[in-house]
Structure 1
Amino acid sequence: MTSAALDARAHRRCHNALNSLHSTHYFSPDLGRELGALGVAHPRAVNFAVRAAALGPVGAGTVTATFYKYKHELVARHVPAVWASATPEQILVARARAVDATLRRLLGEETVASAEMTEAARLALRAVEACSRSARPLHSAHADLPVPEEPHLAFWHAATLLREHRGDGHLAVLMAAGLDGLEAMVTHTATGKGMTPKWVFTTRGWTQEDWDAAVGRLRERGLLDEAGELTEQGRALREEIERETDRLDRAPYEHLGADGVTRLTELATVFVRTALGAGAFPADLLGKR
């Protein structure tokens, strides 16, 4: 299937729904409970452990490089120390239990066991067949993990692979655009679609001083105005970043085909709306303030 046959934004919409479904477990009390039972209690240690576990017992440098938008000093406080509390293998098992509990709680047992969930898993796994491992460390590490048997976990697994596939490509685009991790977050927040500064400080380790310095650098480049809003040049750069990320991520969705992408988006969107209605995310997570 050619790229022209698939709407240029169709796979981005599909990714957004899949990414939201994947991300529910990061904010779930089930994850904290499961990791806490292994001796991993700090929220940041939990986050680093579950996402990096597929890479093995890596050091702080690898996590900072592959996660990109976290302050290295924050990462180094928890990695590699977290592996002394639990092995990556133990953490992956605990993560799966947390995802299972989270999806059952947010979506309900009927949805988890539905034909629609089985269909969504089949479509998402079909898309994954065309993902590339090259220069995609987080995707490739997760691709080495076995596909769960239960449809809702298989769907989440496939959503994770598609999410990390796009994410790895996105980081290459950010580097090519000359944006470091914090500058990328500042410009994304300025679009109104990224994390609020409060959540950037809380979860990524950056301070108000760091944020202000990044804003200053972006103003010097003409990407932000004095009010901290994107300039025309800044908006054009963000749009180009998304277009280039789309280009690097189009293969899985072209492989699935336009009809498959439409159906997968429909199914994932219904699941995400149900999860949102059940309070999956903090109300103040996204926005400019």
Structure 2
Amino acid sequence: MTHIARRMYELLEPICLVTYMADECNQELAALGHRNYWDGYFASRAAPLGRVPAHVVHAAFYNFADGEAARHIPSAWETITPEASLAARERGSAASVRRILGAELTGSAGLVRAADLTTKAALSAPTEGRVMYAALRTVAVPTDPVARLWHSANMLREHRGDGHIAALLGARIGGIEAHVLSALANGIYPPESFGRIHHLPKRRLAAVMDGLRERGIVDADGRFTDAGRETQQRIEALTDELAAPPYDALSPAELDELIAELQPITAALVAAGSQ
């Protein structure tokens, strides 16, 4: 089923990316009073966890530098409740999907069926060891098909993310180190220029790279060694393996149907850059 998990990731990820790439979600969060993008990001993504301290959000998200969560949590919730932030995230994300897809796709029987099957998969996986996924399982599933498709895709994204963190921990790859591996795997060089980490202090980035060199993950020039590339590929393979259980709930015919119904939806979102 690992190939199914990878294929579903490719099909569902563009649905989730509207939350981060399109304007509507950020506009909804700003309208509540969140000061900036990252206030809204941390407040709305962490909202299903409840009013937990910053160090819990840091642990659950895994790949942010020390102190980044604490700049937004819990202050972002002082005047705006987690519930309000979560609702704004859903409204904005669904609005983006609806705008990008247009009336023909969003009103189609195919989208409704895709939403139903995605939800069936998203509600079927065990929650043990899946902190973000388990938190989202406590959130009511929207009745609107577009919102339901986005919500269920997001559940599966966080389920995959929880498994990815487990794979990283097993390989002893830290959160910032994971960004370096991802950058190199995607042809970004130097990896310190990657958008998720380029803002970090140069001393911090140098320490991360030095640590990866000492372990033989990158060479003197900051590029993958053979061992480093094998490590990255092993992590991705295990991530796919751990992401497979939700799709066990679907029959082979349902999986084929879901893939067929998602293809035009995903193609439209990819063509628009999910924005």
TM-score (norm 1): 0.88
Q: 2:195 is matched with which residue?
A: 199
Tell me the distance in 1 between the aligned counterparts of 2:187 and 2:142: 32
Q: 2:86 is matched with which residue?
A: 92
- Select 1:44's aligned residue among 35, 38, 42: 38
State the 1:219 CA deviation: 1.3
1:268 aligned partner, one-letter code: L
1:246 matched to 2:240? The reply is yes
Map 1:152-163; keep pairs closer than 5 Å.
Answer: 152-163=146-157
Distance 1:234 1:260, change over 3 A: farther
- Select 1:181's aligned residue among 170, 175, 187: 175
Distance 1:191 1:84, change over 3 A: same
Distance 1:50 1:193, change over 3 A: farther
Contact residue 60 and residue 72 of structure 1 kept, 8 A: no
Contact residue 124 and residue 155 of structure 1 kept, 8 A: yes
Contact residue 43 and residue 82 of structure 2 kept, 8 A: yes
Contact residue 14 and residue 261 of structure 1 kept, 8 A: no
Map 1:1-289; keep pairs closer than 5 Å.
Answer: 6=1, 8-192=2-186, 197-201=193-197, 206-280=200-274
Tell me the distance in 2 between the aligned counterparts of 1:44 and 1:66: 16
State the 1:198 CA deviation: 4.1
- 1:121-153 CA deviation, whole Å, 9 max, x = no partner? 111112124311111111011111111111111
Distance 1:170 1:53, change over 3 A: same
Distance 1:131 1:187, change over 3 A: same
State the 1:115 CA deviation: 1.1
Runs of 4+ in 1 over 6 A off after TM superposition: 193-196
Tell me the distance in 1 between the aligned counterparts of 2:172 and 2:205: 17
SS state at 1:9 partner? helix
SS state at 2:32 partner? coil
Tell me the distance in 2 between the aligned counterparts of 1:35 and 1:99: 11
State the 1:172 CA deviation: 1.2
SS state at 1:260 partner? helix
- 1:157-198 CA deviation, whole Å, 9 max, x = no partner? 111111111111111111111111000110111101789834
Tell me the distance in 2 between the aligned counterparts of 1:131 and 1:193: 33
Percent of aligned pairs with the same amino acid: 34
- Name stretches of at least 5 consecutive residues in structure 2 with no aligned partner: none
Distance 1:276 1:85, change over 3 A: farther
- 1:79-123 CA deviation, whole Å, 9 max, x = no partner? 110001300111122112101211112111221111111111111
2:249 aligned partner, one-letter code: H
Contact residue 51 and residue 74 of structure 2 kept, 8 A: yes
The range that moved more, 140-149 or 29-38, is 29-38
Distance 1:126 1:193, change over 3 A: farther
Tell me the distance in 2 between the aligned counterparts of 1:261 and 1:121: 13
- Name stretches of at least 5 consecutive residues in structure 1 with no aligned partner: 1-5, 282-289
Q: 1:287 is matched with which residue?
A: none
Contact residue 57 and residue 88 of structure 1 kept, 8 A: yes
